[in-house]
Structure formats: C-alpha cells, structure tokens
Structure 1
Amino acid sequence: MTETKNKTAAENTSVSKEFQLEDSIHKAELFFNKNKNSIIIALLVIVVVVGGSFAYNRFIKAPNEKKAQDMVFHAQQYFEKDSFRLALNGDGNYYGFLQVIDQYGSTKTGQLAKYYAGVSYVKLGEFQKGVDLLKDFSSGDQIVQAMAYGLAGDAYMELGKTEEGIEYYKKAGHHSNNELTAPTFLFRAGLALEKANKPADAIAVYKEIRDKYPQTAEGREMEKYLARLGEVRN
C-alpha cells in the first residue's frame, strides 16, 4: 500500500514538474511573441557589435598599425641622431613624428610618436609644445609613462611653472615603483619643492626616497639633503 502511495506521489510530482515546465515554456513563448521585435533588434545589435569589432581590428586597426610603423621608421632614426627637427617634420622624402600623429595618432605607434615628438620639442627648447604632447601620450608601459610624466615636469620647470613641475615629478615618481625612474623624479620633486620654499614637503619626499630606495644613488644621498634642511636622524 505504502509502495503504491509512494509510486502515485512520484507520478504526481513528475506530472507536476511536466506541467511547470510546459507552463514555463508557454510563458517564454508568450514573452518572446510579445517582445520579439525588441529581442531580435538586441540580438542584431550584438551580432553587429561583435562582427564590427572583429572587422575593425582585422581590416582597419591592424593595417593602420602597420602603416604607422612603416611611416615612423625614418623619424626614429633621425631622433637617435639628435636631428630633432627632421624627426618631427620629416625630410621631404620620409615622414616625421608629426605626420604619423596626424594620420595614425590613435594607434600604438601613433601614441609612441607623441612621446618621441614631445621629447624632441623639449630638446629643441619648445617646452610648451613638448608638454602638450607628453601630457597627451598614454602607454601601458609603466616606465615609459613615468618618463613622459617626468619630462613634462622638466618642461614645466623650464617654463617657470614650478607647481606644475612638482605635480608631474610626483606623478612620475609614484607611477612606477622601479628603481630606475622613481627615485630620480622624486628627487627632482624634492629639489623643486625647495625652490618653491616648501622645506617640509621636500623633507617628506627625501625621506620617502631614503626609506623606499636606500640602495639607489639618490637613496644613499638623502641624509645629506635632509641634514641640509635641518632633519638629522638620531
């Protein structure tokens, strides 16, 4: 008897689940029929976006990157020879960084051209143009990005804009905790803070260099600079 009841209960449960499933399917069908235009449009949008992204990367982005790389080659050679004006403007036969930026500024190579062009302007003493390009430059390489911030700081200092110089030296010093760029630009920030008559802020930066980068050339010199500002370690 008990077995029969259990069997009946199981069958009822199974039938109940079937009804629930059918009900869910029916509701889904009703929902689709009621909203099919919106659903089809949404699916089409997804297809277009995914397909468009693939097509853009395959047929536009990749070829543009290759063209930019071809264009920038001779400009880089002039840059390495310190021929900065030719690097910027080209020589009449080959393009310079400015033409690469103008045509392919959104590519990775175009971004790198902004860095090279910014450095070139700074080297030529055209500091504001250098700042504008270095600030517009963006890189996933932390060291290169830190260098760009630091060079912008140098350019600001040359322009007599000490506060902006300090800001960008700190940006450079804190962007990447490597021993190559961080202590160098933090040290420049400290010197600029002294120039701005902010000894307490300079002391804080010098202590940061001493404590975080003790094995670097800057780190080993910090006690001397701190002592000069009256900060002597007991």
Structure 2
Amino acid sequence: MAKKNNIGRRPTGTPRGGRRNAGNEGDQVRIEEDDTLVDIVEVRDQGLDFFERNRTIIIGAVIALIVLVAAALLYQTFIKAPAERNAAEQMQQAQYQFEQDSFSLALTNPGQGYPGFLDIADEYGNTKAGNLANYYAAVSYLNLGKYDAALDYLEDFDAEGELLPAMKAGVRGDLHSELDDFDAAIEDYEEAVEEAGDNYVTGGYYLNKLALLLRKEGRTDEALAAFERLKADFSLSNEATQADKYIATLR
C-alpha cells in the first residue's frame, strides 16, 4: 500500500539534484507545483481567518484613520490656511513701524487699528506669522533696552529653515553681550556662524561680531583666527573688507 505524504513536506526519496530518473521527473514537477499551491491556499486561509477574528478592530481602525485624515484636511482648508492669511495681513502695519525703527509702536500700537507684534504673537501663535512676531518682538525689545523681555520672546520663536536659526542665535548673542555675559555671547555668535553655513552675508556679519568680541576680551589668538577666517571664507561679505586692519594689529 502506498504511503500518504504529509502536506507541505517533501516526499521521502524525492531527488534533490544531480541526475534524475526519467520516470520521476514529471512526478517531481507536479509535487513542487502542488506544494506551492498548498502554501498559497494556507496563507490565504490564514489571512481570511485573521480578518474574521479581528473584523471589528480592523474596520474601526480604518474608519478612525479616514476620520483623522478628513479632519486634518478640513482643519488645513477652513481653519489654518485662513488664519495664516489673516495673521500675515494683520502684521503688515507692525512690520512697517518696525522698519521705521518705531519699535514701541510696532510692539503694541502700530496704528490704523492693526495689532502690534505682542498681540499677534499671542492671538496667532500657532501660525507662521504669529511665530515670526515673536522674533520681531525680541528684536524690538532689544533695541528698546529691555533685554530680559527680548530673551523671553526670542526663546518662544521657533527658528526653521536655512536663515532663521542663524538669526536667532545671533540676536541671542547680541542680548547676552548687552547683559555683559560675554562667554555666552561668544558661544551664540559661534552657533550663528555655524548655522549660516555658506551664506556669506549672515555668516560674515556674525563672524565679524565674534572676532570683535574675542578681541575685546583679550583672546588675541582666537580673534586673529576669526578675522583670518572672515577674510578667507566670507570674502564677499561687507565685513571682510575691514579684516586686514584687525589682522595687522593682532599679529
């Protein structure tokens, strides 16, 4: 009596390689095809069984995902996008006063019924314009000599992109310098230069500030290295044109 083979197992005595008997070749091909078909059927049945056992959970998860995506689209279309536009429009008058160096007006009362940077940062804080209002407020307070308030608003400013991180670090350096915390200011200017990367305008501006502060603090070798780097790496910046005179006095 012929022995029955277990499903999915290779029958005993089936050739694995080398020479094949002509009579067994067709049987071997059919056995491999049957094994593949059995594997596919088993996988399909296991998948169906898993779905049946977890139908409620799976359907609930899919519905929840659809609801989340729809809610995100609705929020972006009907709430966030209009808020972004409104905040940008509301800030134009404050920006105008800022550009005129009217920092007090820019902060609280820019005129024509528009809000200042403080109100914009508070009311539209979750928008790009509201976030940028924190930076404007920090710089305004810096120019008004209110350094602690400036630091508070600067820390609330979320700097992203290629330019803003360098500007944030540079303004923090200015604030620490005004507060006579020169070690912290030096670290801030170093960070600003690093964040500036290949931007010769921003990089040269803050590297020059770093070099001047190092010179003021009597850190001659570091100041000389900073001025030499300014001339070599940021030669296109306005500040690089003054580097040679400082290099000559420091050598």
TM-score (norm 2): 0.79
The answer as to 2:155 corresponding to 1:121 is: no
**1:69-218 equivalent positions in 2, closer than 5 A:** 69-90=88-109, 91=111, 93-176=113-196, 177-218=198-239
Once the two structures are overlaid, the 10-residue window that deviates more, 39-48 or 14-23, is 39-48
Q: CA deviation at 1:89?
A: 0.7
Q: CA deviation at 1:211?
A: 2.4
Instruction: Write the distance in 2 (CA, Å) between the matches of 1:171 and 1:45.
Output: 44
The answer as to 2:68 corresponding to 1:32 is: no
Unmatched 5+ residue regions in structure 1? none
8 Å CA contact 1:134, 1:148 repeated in 2: yes
In structure 2, the residue matched to 1:226 is 247
Q: CA deviation at 1:102?
A: 0.3
**Residues 29-74 of structure 1, C-alpha deviations (whole Å, 9 max, x = no match):** 2222334444334334432332232222112211211221222122
8 Å CA contact 1:186, 1:209 repeated in 2: yes
Instruction: Write the distance in 2 (CA, Å) between the matches of 1:128 and 1:163.
Output: 17
Instruction: Write the distance in 2 (CA, Å) between the matches of 1:44 and 1:167.
Output: 51
TM-score (norm 1): 0.84
Structure 1 letter corresponding to 2:195: H
- Alignment equivalent of 1:67, drawn from 80, 86, 90: 86
In structure 1, the residue matched to 2:35 is 16
Instruction: Write the distance in 1 (CA, Å) between the matches of 2:62 and 2:224.
Output: 60
Instruction: Write the distance in 2 (CA, Å) between the matches of 1:214 and 1:70.
Output: 38
CA 41–193 in structure 1, closer or farther in 2 if over 3 Å, else same:
farther
Instruction: Write the distance in 1 (CA, Å) between the matches of 2:51 and 2:217.
Output: 68
Instruction: Write the distance in 2 (CA, Å) between the matches of 1:181 and 1:138.
Output: 18
Any idea what SS the aligned residue of 2:201 has? Answer: coil
> Higher Cα Rg: structure 1 or 2?
2
Q: CA deviation at 1:75?
A: 1.4
CA 57–174 in structure 1, closer or farther in 2 if over 3 Å, else same:
same
Q: CA deviation at 1:6?
A: 5.3
**Residues 116-154 of structure 1, C-alpha deviations (whole Å, 9 max, x = no match):** 212211121212222322333234342344233222222
CA 101–73 in structure 1, closer or farther in 2 if over 3 Å, else same:
same
CA 19–172 in structure 1, closer or farther in 2 if over 3 Å, else same:
same
In structure 1, the residue matched to 2:11 is none
Structure 1 letter corresponding to 2:122: D
Q: How many residue pairs get matched?
A: 229
8 Å CA contact 1:134, 1:149 repeated in 2: no
CA 220–113 in structure 1, closer or farther in 2 if over 3 Å, else same:
same
Q: Which has the higher helix share?
A: 1
Structure 1 letter corresponding to 2:115: Y
Q: CA deviation at 1:8?
A: 4.9
Any idea what SS the aligned residue of 1:94 has? Answer: coil
